[in-house]
Amino acid sequence: MSSAAYSALLVAVMSAVTILLRAAPFLIFKKKTPAYVMYLGKVLPAAIIGMLVVYCLKDVKIVSAPFGAPELIAGLLVVGLHAWKRNILLSILAGTAAYMLLTQLVF
């Protein structure tokens, strides 16, 4: 299979699985939702966001220069700004701009 065809297959898989997740409750839980499923629904999102933060930073080299400094500085900026202003777009824009400036001009 060519790499374009394989990529297209993966896009189709992502689409199908996303649709299945969104539709599943309408197909399965006609009456009552199991307590365990409700529990996972409450705790999984927070855990998965934590997982995705690590996923995004997986290739950062902390044992060689610049020792992950741009990621650390920009990441802390996002945390601080978000805790202060609680505006998700502002946090993303400022953090990304800071990271781009740091990697292009400083490190």
Residues that bind another protein (CB under 8 A): 3, 6-7, 9-15, 17-19, 21-26, 29, 32-33, 35-59, 70-71, 74-75, 78-79, 82-83, 86, 88-89, 91-93, 95-96, 99-100, 102-104
Are 82 and 88 a contacting pair, CB within 8 Å? yes
Q: Between the CA of residue 69 and those of 85, 97, 106, what are the distances in Å? A: 24, 15, 10
Torsion of CA 21, 82, 64, 56, to 10 degrees: 10
First to last CA, the chain: 41
Shortest CB 65 distance to another protein, Å: 17
DSSP state of 90: H
Smaller CB separation from another protein, 44 or 67? 44
Shortest CB 58 distance to another protein, Å: 4
Shortest CB 105 distance to another protein, Å: 10
Shortest CB 20 distance to another protein, Å: 9
